């Protein structure tokens, strides 16, 4: 049986997610028409809202059911959206969440500044809460880690020999840290029990790794329309990701030489895409990535053993599998 979709898993928190959606709109509204237009272009682009979902579920799993979880869910989503707006500038990506990216529509200057604007909204929302709030330090650390991850990734861009270890370190920073922060902040709303908070930290780290491995895989195998992003974009950008690192390691020396030429070519890799697809089939790269992501999903589920049995805890279990089985 296939895993349930994210909306099926989250049906019982629909009211919370609607409240988050409303707050996202309210908290990012600008009095200036064009700022508002550009900001809402990315906010209304939607997405899975994985980080808000993780935060709300983690809070509920730890016994907290109040509105502060909605505020913090908005905060983590805004950090995420801001980072994607900047990431799309760095990656020169034309489409995100089935929409034209902000920089493609209005240029890099607008995109960089809208990212900064969203980040400023995050700071003001956090300051409006209490200054000694642990969410403040968790989120400033996470944002710093995301920037560090992206800097290292940009620095390593074009490195055909990047190791799996380096790759997983980058992923842990750029993707894992905000997902982990979302889980921990939710936990802290409901409990002071360090064992539970650490369990949700472990859960978030493992879900983050599984999420990015599947994100990398979908770049090669997803239906572009459903995925909402351009296919083969990592290859176009000269970014060696999990599927390619694995394939580079297991293929023959001759194939590796051709792969490196495709990877280093200045031209778009369109003509080589069929060859790459055949290579991925030959080495069962998809199955390998699904298996590797599932190991992380299983690790995430094991970490949840420390939590009491609640509907939210069970939804977190299902989400770990969803992250692996998703097709967008
Ligand atoms: C997507 O990676 C990007 C991230 C997970 C993080 C990006 C972080 C920054 C730009 C630094 C932080 C900036 C702010 C404003 C907080 P990807 O390119 O692998 O995934 P994709 O296929 O979705 O683009
Ligand atoms: Mg990108």
Residue 106 burial class via C-beta count within 10 angstroms: exposed 0-12, middle 13-18, buried 19 and up: middle
Q: Has residue 129 got a pLDDT over 90?
A: no
pLDDT in tens, 108-120: 988 998 998 998 8
Decide the pairing of beta strands 95-96 and 99-100. Answer: antiparallel
Chain CA centroid to CA 234, Å: 15
Tell me the average pLDDT across 251-267: 92
Q: How many domains does the chain have?
A: 1
What is the tens place of the pLDDT at every residue in 160-170?
Answer: 999 999 999 99
Provide the sign of the torsion angle of the four alpha carbons 161, 206, 188, 28, taken in this order. Answer: positive
Asked whether residue 1 is assigned to any structural domain, the reply reads no
Among 60, 172, 67, 194, smallest CA distance to 125 is for: 67
If you ran DSSP here, which 8-state letter would residue 5 be given? P
Inter-helix orientation angle 242-250/273-282, to 10°: 70
Sole residue written with tokens 């997610």: 17
The rounded mean pLDDT for the chain is 93
Q: What is the pLDDT of residues 7-21, one digit of tens each?
A: 999 999 999 999 999
Whether 115 lines ligand 1, by a CB cut-off of 6 Å, is yes
Q: How far is the CA of 189 from the centre of ligand 1 (A)?
A: 26
Q: Is the pLDDT of residue 131 over 70?
A: no
Q: Report if residue 272 sits inside a domain.
A: yes
Å from CA of 84 to ligand 2 middle: 7
Question: Which atom of ligand 1 sits closest to the CA of residue 118?
Answer: 15
Distance 87 CA to ligand 2 centre (A): 5
Q: Whose CA is nearest to atom 2 of ligand 1?
A: 87
The domain that holds 93 is classified in CATH as 1.10.600.10
For residues 222 and 215, what is the distance between their CA atoms, to the nearest angstrom? 9
Mean pLDDT of 277-290: 96
pTM of the model: 0.90
User: What does the longest C-alpha to C-alpha distance in the chain come to?
Assistant: 60
Q: Could you list the residue range(s) of the whole structural domain that residue 119 is in?
A: 6-325
Dihedrals phi, psi of 231, to nearest 5 degrees: -75, 160
């Amino acid at each position: 049986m296939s895993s349930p979709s994210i909306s099926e898993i989250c049906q019982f928190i629909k009211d919370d997610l609607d409240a988050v959606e409303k707050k996202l709109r309210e908290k990012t509204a600008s009095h200036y028409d064009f700022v508002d237009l550009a900001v809402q272009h990315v906010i209304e682009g939607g997405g899975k809202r994985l980080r808000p979902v993780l935060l709300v579920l983690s809070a509920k799993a730890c016994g907290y059911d109040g509105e502060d979880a909605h505020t913090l869910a908005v905060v983590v989503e805004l950090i995420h959206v801001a980072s994607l707006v900047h990431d799309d500038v760095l990656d020169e990506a034309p489409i995100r969440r089935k929409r034209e990216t902000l920089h493609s529509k209005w240029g890099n200057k607008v995109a960089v500044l809208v990212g900064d604007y969203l980040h400023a909204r995050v700071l003001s929302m956090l300051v409006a809460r209490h200054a000694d709030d642990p969410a403040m330090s968790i989120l400033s650390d996470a944002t710093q880690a995301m920037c560090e991850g992206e800097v290292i990734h940009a620095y390593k861009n074009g490195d055909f020999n990047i190791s799996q270890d380096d790759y997983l370190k980058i992923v842990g920073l750029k993707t894992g840290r905000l997902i982990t922060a979302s889980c921990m902040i939710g936990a802290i709303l409901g409990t002071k029990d360090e064992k539970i908070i650490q369990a949700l930290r472990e859960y978030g780290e493992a879900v983050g790794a599984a999420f990015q491995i599947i994100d990398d895989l979908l770049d090669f195998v997803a239906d572009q329309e459903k995925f909402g992003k351009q296919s083969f974009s990592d290859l176009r950008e000269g970014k060696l990701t999990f599927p390619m690192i694995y394939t580079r390691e297991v293929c023959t020396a001759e194939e590796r030489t051709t792969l490196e030429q495709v990877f280093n070519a200045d031209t778009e890799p369109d003509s080589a895409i069929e060859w790459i697809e055949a290579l991925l089939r030959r080495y069962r790269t998809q199955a390998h990535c699904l298996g590797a992501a599932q190991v992380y999903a299983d690790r995430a589920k094991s970490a949840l053993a420390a939590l009491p049995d609640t509907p939210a805890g069970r939804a977190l279990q299902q989400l770990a599998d969803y992250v692996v089985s998703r097709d967008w």
